[in-house]
Amino acid sequence: MPVAPESAREYLGSQFGLMSRYVEHLATSAISHGLIGPRERESLWTRHVLNCAVLGEVIEPAADVIDVGSGAGLPGMVLGISRPDLHVTLVEPLLRRSNWLSMVIEDLALTNVTVRRDRAEDVHDLRADVVTSRAVARLDRLTGWCAPLVRAGGRVVAIKGATAQEELDETREELVALGVVDARIAQCGIGVVDPPTTAVELVFGSTTPGRAPKTGAGRKKQKSKNRRRSG
Ligand SMILES: C[S@@+](CC[C@H](N)C(=O)[O-])C[C@H]1O[C@@H](n2cnc3c(N)ncnc32)[C@H](O)[C@@H]1O
């Protein structure tokens, strides 16, 4: 099994044992099922688990979290394990991945993590204080999917690489149109992971965010529907 760095033991405290079991699943069945590349095996603890666990630094106690595009549970499963106070829903559309996630939840007996097999944009009945994601889509597209899942005053927290600021600058207009009232970049895990994890935090206003405005054909369809209704 991949050897955990000392910082993992210190950082995770009482949750270290459970996280080690999750890493065992990542290093075995997640690789054999093609959810994680075999070359990632030696860096599971640093590039994946700790990189995601430190995101907990910007998530308030007992928050409801939706993780969009969880894949092998990154960052959602890691947050659910490292922070048992959170209630986490993993949204993942692919059957093989969502089945694997359910199997891990059962094996670890996690009562605060559930899986929803769906695309984020097709989820209409869930809202959370924080919507997380890593490596799923560019910020404007991702926010279009995530905004309807955020409670009024809540946040999207997306792990991004070194280009976070550039992506934020390029998409600012679209983000404002989607209801974002404040955007900032957080460095998480200073002294725990090197480099620290860069996260973009998008704060939504006090009114509930809606779906992305319809364009072209969608708008026309809606107009003619309205005409039929009023006629
Ligand atoms: C590159 S993987 C990243 C997985 C994981 N977040 C990580 O960092 O390792 C992207 C994941 O997003 C999922 N995905 C793609 N489109 C999605 C959508 N519209 N809604 C939710 N998940 C989506 C894919 O199935 C895939 O598991």
ipTM of the complex, rounded to two decimals: 0.99
Q: What is the mean pLDDT of each run of 10 residues along the chain (231 residues)?
A: 91 97 97 95 95 98 98 98 98 98 98 98 97 97 97 97 93 95 97 95 81 47 43 31
CATH architecture designation of domain 6-208: 3-Layer(aba) Sandwich (3.40)
Tokens at 67, concatenated: 């993780």
**Site residues for ligand 1, CB cut-off 6 Å:** 68-72, 74, 91-94, 97, 119-121, 134-136, 145
Q: Which residue has the tokens 């666990």?
A: 53
Q: What is the pLDDT of residue 208?
A: 60
Q: What is the pLDDT of residue 199?
A: 97
Q: Specify binding-site residues.
A: 69, 74, 120-121, 134
What are the residue ranges spanned by the domains of the chain? 6-208
Q: Which residues of 118-150 are buried (b: 16+ CB within 10 A; e: fewer)?
A: eebbebeeebbbbbbbbebbebbebbbbbbbbb
Q: What are 218's strand-pairing partners?
A: none
Q: What is the pLDDT of residue 231?
A: 31
Distance CA 14, CA 6 (A): 14
Rounded to the nearest angstrom, the distance between the alpha carbon of 180 and the centre of ligand 1 is 22
Q: How large is the angle between the packed helices 164-177 and 139-146, nearest 10 degrees?
A: 40
Name the pTM for this structure: 0.90
Backbone dihedral angles phi then psi of residue 91, each to the nearest 5 degrees: -100, 115
Taking CA atoms only, the protein residue closest to ligand 1 atom 23 is: 69
**Which atom of ligand 1 is closest in space to residue 71's alpha carbon?**
27
Pocket test for ligand 1, best of 33, 52, 136 (most atoms within 8 A of CB): 136
DSSP assignment of 25-70, as one string?
HIIIIIHHTTSS-GGGGGGIIIIIIIHHHGGGGGS-TT-EEEEES-
